Structure 1
Amino acid sequence: MKVKLYILLIISALFIQFACQKETTSDNGTTNLRIRLTDNPFNATEVNVDIREVKVNFNDDSTGWQSLSTNTGIYNLLGLQNGVDTLLASGNVPTGTLKEIRFVLGSDNSIKIDTVLYPLTIPSGSESGLKIKVNKHLNATLDSLLIDFDAALSIMQTGNGDYKLKPVLKIK
């Protein structure tokens, strides 16, 4: 009986020791970051955004931009609702605090209302891109960010009938 108790105590001690260890960083100080996209419901048929590149920045200034492997293409944001999302970009990045994400956009952006397709203007979308402040510490294991696009708050119709996108984004 004493032997069984002794073995049980040793196993319990080993379990507690390994369960309480802090997460260690990877050997090379990087993590695999995934950036995903989803949308809140909106009263249009399509909101198409032409994504050309996704970059991340770990510096407080604009010198540290790093490109991720981006799944380029035109994304209908309204197809990414009710728990549906898509993987936009991924790549190995340094562990530490992610300061910003930048989406560089192409010119093939549009909004479809009923059956009519309208151009969607995105100020500085193809030049400096859409920047999102993040300030999230990334772990040494796989890390994933979900960017929730709110189309209802982001799209404005101008007085002349044009549509502009001023993104309202939330990071989850």
Structure 2
Amino acid sequence: MKKKIMYSGLALFFAGMAILSGCTKDNNSTASGTTKVEIRMTDAPGDFDEINLNVKEIILFSEGKPYTFAAKTDIFNILDFRIGTNNPDILVASGEMPSGEITEIRLVLNDSGNTIVVGGVSQELKTPSAQSSGWKVKLKANPSLLPGVTYSLLLDFDAAKSIVSTGNGKYLLKPVVRGLTAATSGLISGTVLPLLSHPEVLVISGTDTVGTIADPLNGNFTVGGLAAGNYSVKFAPVVGYRDSTITNVNVALGQNTSLGIITLKQ
């Protein structure tokens, strides 16, 4: 891993769209006051060739009760799906549950089938035994599911913080996620040149920092899941180029704030 990059973590987006069935039996409530839910995953580019995930299930908690959604996917490379591309996300699970406030979300992976490819070499990603109960998602706000409305929950995988090097050429998988609601979601995008600068792009608000790296093929970047407000955007390139920061970047709800082309100096 060449750089330690903080990505925009788990984001929760509202979407009025049709949804597939497929929740586990306990979730198939026939009572009134139910909500359809889609659970999708996305990521930002990182300095790995592949991160292949084998998701077992997603667990949503409401009023202290767990509702388990079995995964609909085979093993997939999470780096193939990122905001701002033609493949922004992948549907992982879907189903129906009683309406109400979601107080906790857990991502559960299968014990095997999770792999990483670095430098063309593939190896298994081990997960600590404690992961059997799932990885808890940190939510800034608990989304409320309304009856008769379809919600899409987008899990933005934090690759750099989720992949832990053991120091002997091996890696552990400890998924790290965070949450924002769709009502407080905006984007910042742009293009950084020259391509050789290969910068981290860090979006900063107070002590909260999220980000990505510029695409090495075209310099494009997109950071999503941002609350409305003013941000500083820092570009931290490799050695040979100067850091650069753009201040007072305004993000509005549901809008993409484009910074255009940013050219870094040597």
- Number of equivalenced pairs: 143
3-state SS of 1:121 partner:
coil
Tell me by how many angstroms 1:121 deviates: 1.7
- Between Structure 1 and Structure 2, whose CA radius of gyration is higher? 1
- Aligned with 2:46 (options 34, 42, 45): 42
Partner amino acid, structure 2, of 1:91: G
Distance 1:31 1:40 in 2: 29
3-state SS of 1:127 partner:
helix
Aligned to 1:158: 166
Is the contact made by 1:53 and 1:72 (CA closer than 8 Å) also made in structure 2?
A: no
TM-score normalised to structure 2 length: 0.50
Aligned to 1:98: 102
Aligned to 2:178: 170
Runs of 4+ aligned structure 1 residues displaced above 2 Å come to none
Is the contact made by 1:99 and 1:133 (CA closer than 8 Å) also made in structure 2?
A: no
Q: Mark the CA change 1:170 to 1:75 in structure 2 (over 3 Å): closer, same or farther.
A: farther
Q: Mark the CA change 1:126 to 1:169 in structure 2 (over 3 Å): closer, same or farther.
A: closer
The answer to whether structure 1 residue 87 and structure 2 residue 91 are counterparts is yes
Q: How does 1:91-130 map to 2 (within 5 A)?
A: 91-106=95-110, 107-124=112-129, 127-130=132-135
Distance 2:166 2:56 in 1: 26
Q: Mark the CA change 1:131 to 1:100 in structure 2 (over 3 Å): closer, same or farther.
A: same
Higher relative contact order (CA 8 A, sep 6+): 1
Partner amino acid, structure 2, of 1:130: W
3-state SS of 1:41 partner:
coil
Partner amino acid, structure 1, of 2:54: D
The answer to whether structure 1 residue 138 and structure 2 residue 145 are counterparts is yes
Q: How does 1:52-91 map to 2 (within 5 A)?
A: 52-60=56-64, 64-83=65-84, 84-91=88-95
Is the contact made by 2:138 and 2:179 (CA closer than 8 Å) also made in structure 1?
A: no
Distance 1:72 1:131 in 2: 20
3-state SS of 2:133 partner:
coil
Aligned to 1:14: none
Distance 1:126 1:168 in 2: 12
TM-score normalised to structure 1 length: 0.75
Aligned to 2:191: none
Is the contact made by 2:56 and 2:70 (CA closer than 8 Å) also made in structure 1?
A: no
Is the contact made by 2:72 and 2:92 (CA closer than 8 Å) also made in structure 1?
A: yes
Cα shift readout 1:149-168 (whole Å, capped 9, x = no counterpart): 11122212112221012222
Distance 1:101 1:124 in 2: 19
Distance 2:39 2:179 in 1: 10
Distance 1:28 1:122 in 2: 39
Identity %: 42
Tell me by how many angstroms 1:86 deviates: 0.8
Cα shift readout 1:18-68 (whole Å, capped 9, x = no counterpart): xxxxxxxxx8101101111100111111001111122211134xxx11122
The structure with more helix, counted as a fraction of residues: 1
Q: Mark the CA change 1:43 to 1:170 in structure 2 (over 3 Å): closer, same or farther.
A: same
